[in-house]
Amino acid sequence: MSNTVVHRRAVLLASAALIVAPMAARAAADVGGSAPVFTATDSNGKTWSLAELHGKIVVLETTNHDCPYVGKHYRSGNMQAQQREAAAAGVVWFTVASSAPGKQGYVTAAEANEIVAAHHAAPAAVLLDPESRIARAYGATVTPHMYIVDASGVLVYKGGIDSIASTDIDDIPRAKQYVRAALAELQAGKPVTDASTRPYGCSLKYAGSA
Partner 1 sequence: MSRLLALLVSLLLALPAAAQSVVTTDNVRAELLSEVSQVKAGEPFWVALRETMRPHWHTYWKNPGDAGQPTDIAWKLPAGVTADPIVWPAPTKIDVSGVVNYGFEGDILLLVKITPPADFSGSTLSLAADAHWLVCSDVCIPEEGKFSLSLPVGPAATPADPATRALFDAARRQVPTESPWPSRFGVAPSGDPILVVDAKGLKPDTIRDVYFFPAEWGPVANMAKQTAHVTASGIRVPLKKGDAKAATPQQLAGTLVLSEKTGDGEHRQAFDIMARFDPTVATDAASSAASDAEALSLWRALAFALLGGLILNLMPCVFPVLAMKAASFVRLAGHSRTEIRRDGIAYTAGVLTSFGLMAAAVLAIRAGVGEVSWGFQFQSPIFSLLVAYLFFVVGLNLSGVFEVAGRFTGLGQGLAGRGGLTGAFFTGVLAVVVATPCTAPFMAAALGFALSQPAPQTVAVLLALGLGLALPYLVLAFTPTLQRLMPRPGAWMDRLRQFLAFPMYASAVWMIWVLTQQTGADGVLYALGGMVLIAFAIWLLRLGAPISRTVWLRRGLASIAVLLAFAAALKLEDQPATAASAAGGPSTGVSFDGWERFSRARLDEAVSARKPVFVDFTAAWCITCLVNDRVALDTAVTRRAFEETGTVKLKGDWTNRDPEITATLNEYGRAGVPLYLYWAPGADRPKILPQILTEASVVATLTSNQQAKR
Chain positions contacting partner 1, by CB under 8 A: 2, 5, 7-8, 13, 16, 19-20, 22-23, 26-27, 31, 66-69, 100, 103-104, 139, 141-142, 158-159, 165-168, 195-196, 198-210
Minimum gap (Å) between residue 125 Cβ and partner 1? 25
CA distance 203 to 64: 10
Minimum gap (Å) between residue 32 Cβ and partner 1? 9
Minimum gap (Å) between residue 16 Cβ and partner 1? 5
CA distance 120 to 117: 5
Q: Where are the beta strands (DSSP E) in 24-170?
A: 39-42, 47-49, 58-63, 92-97, 125-128, 142-143, 146-149, 155-159
Q: Where are the beta strands (DSSP E) in the chain?
A: 39-42, 47-49, 58-63, 92-97, 125-128, 142-143, 146-149, 155-159, 202-203
CA distance 57 to 90: 8
Minimum gap (Å) between residue 143 Cβ and partner 1? 9
CB of 41 or CB of 76, closer to partner 1:
76
CA distance 168 to 69: 9
Name 174's Cβ contacts closer than 8 Å, sequence gap at least 6.
164
CB of 29 or CB of 128, closer to partner 1:
29
CB of 123 or CB of 139, closer to partner 1:
139
Minimum gap (Å) between residue 23 Cβ and partner 1? 5
CB of 85 or CB of 194, closer to partner 1:
194
CB of 66 or CB of 85, closer to partner 1:
66
Minimum gap (Å) between residue 54 Cβ and partner 1? 25
Name 45's Cβ contacts closer than 8 Å, sequence gap at least 6.
109
Dihedrals φ, ψ of 155, to 5°? -75, 120
CB of 23 or CB of 151, closer to partner 1:
23
